[in-house]
Amino acid sequence: MHPKSKELPLRHTIFEDFHALLAGTAMVSLGVVLYLEAQIYTGGLAGLSLLIEYATGWNFGLIFFCVNIPFYALSLMRMGWLFTVKTFMAVALISLFSKVFSLWIDISSVDPIFSSVVGGTVIGAGMIFLFRHRAGVGGSSILAQFLQDKKIMRAGYFMLGFDTIILCSGFFVLPWKQVLVSILGAFVLNVIIAINHKPGRYAGFSE
């Protein structure tokens, strides 16, 4: 048996980080489009932005970009400038892609349960792309990533609690059936993150 290697993990290259930003945000945006088509939502600031769009008709991308602005100061203080820049880019790309994808994809009919499960899976996978390259999707994910890095709480568990508050707010905006379907999607999303994004499992880093 060979002794365990004590070499440090290789740093991510700029190309790898750029690819992860594009792939991760594209996946998240695709999930958002599925949610928009089914008139459902998720937790966190993305869910809050979706609820605001349903209630007011304002564009999700613009709302999502604006509500994340206050969290960049916390990100800069707690997570460093590189994480903050990557997260800002991720939020900007999701805001852009969610608008562009909705123009490129024409869905005449979609089952809400399908949208919640597949959308939650795709969003969760996209967020893992970003997390593993030291980026977030703003808002609660900044706090979640910080708490996990400090080994205080797993990112998935923190986000599950935070999401509960947003999900319960949906009863004031949408019919209860859509809220229940949204809760299902949020559960799927957070299970994906909790199972696949654990401290020490992934050795790569980019700082």
CA gap 140, 121 in Å, rounded: 18
Report the chain (207 residues): mean pLDDT per 10 consecutive residues: 52 82 95 94 90 94 91 78 89 94 87 95 92 81 74 77 86 94 90 77 52
pTM, whole model, 2 decimals? Answer: 0.83
Distance CA 155, CA 140 (A): 9
pLDDT at site 2: 47
Locate the domains of the chain by residue range. Answer: 14-196
- pLDDT computed for residue 13 by the predictor: 79
Confirm if 52 and 140 have CB atoms less than 8 A apart.
Answer: no
Measured distance CA(196)–CA(25) in Å, rounded: 18
- The pLDDT value recorded for residue 203 is 52
Structure confidence at residue 176 (pLDDT)? 94
Sequence-separated (6 or more) residues with CB below 8 Å from residue 48:
67, 166, 169
Q: How far apart are CA 205 and CA 207, in angstroms?
A: 6
| pLDDT at site 201 | 59
CB 132 within 8 A of CB 202: yes
Residue 28: exposure state from Cβ atoms within 10 A (0-12, 13-18, ≥19): buried
Residue 32 CB coordination number (10 Å): 29
